[in-house]
Structure 1
């Protein structure tokens, strides 16, 4: 089974954008009772490259269309600064979910929103999804269980 990722998202203007995002009203029968105020993330792409210097690239996520969808569009429109905390869970040795990894973005802004509404004839089992790209001032990776971490500043951030 794939690991589970949640996003706690706080906006400078809107406050806790992820509030209520994993409730039944927001995502229907996929709701998560212990994570009501976090966004369920299907996929996360985080790229760091180096040619001459380290290059950070926007973090991209794919998530269900949920309560946060209109708020994310507003944050994009307003160029709102965001704090993102991605929480990664895996199956522990005892069989339950354990928080084992975190990625934190500070002073993030949304640079791209893309919606995917599947063809109801050919992909009837799929639900609407959206991709969100975040540019940020700094990123921190933390392996909670193994107790290692790293931090990088994105020096060329322009808002």
Structure 2
């Protein structure tokens, strides 16, 4: 079963970019009570590999068009430093949702934004969405339930 992922973004200049992103005004009938100041993430992809040295790739997300869309475009335009905290939820043993994993990117920047606006004539079942990729200086991954973590530094990243 897929997990639910939320994202909190704090910008050096803009402050809490994710403020109000999960509200009714931002998301319409898809808003989530208790997550009004977080961005709903449909999908997250990241990669790292080692040949001689570790090579990190940008973190890419897919998310709905929401209140953060113009703010993230501004962050790209202004080359703004961001702190991005991804919070992962899974179904607990008693059927509720539990936070169990997190990824925190520090000194992150928006690298790329791709927007997808499907036509209601040819793709009526799809909603507008965007793909955002982030470069970062540091990444902290934590399994909150199992008590494990890793800290990675993207040393070759030029800021």
Q: TM-score, normalised by structure 2?
A: 0.98
Alignment of 1:6-155 (within 5 A): 6-155=6-155
Partner SS, residue 88 of structure 1? strand
Distance across 1 between alignment mates of 2:86 and 2:141: 10
Per-residue CA shift, 1:37-88, capped at 9, x if unaligned?
0000000001011111111100000000000000000000000000000000
Give structure 1 stretches of 5+ with no counterpart: none
Aligned length: 159
Report deviation, 1:23: 0.7
Distance across 1 between alignment mates of 2:156 and 2:52: 15
Give structure 2 stretches of 5+ with no counterpart: none
Query: Structure 1 residue runs of 4+, over 4 Å off?
Result: none
Distance across 1 between alignment mates of 2:46 and 2:151: 14
Cα RMSD after superposing both structures: 0.7
Q: TM-score, normalised by structure 1?
A: 0.98
Partner SS, residue 125 of structure 1? coil
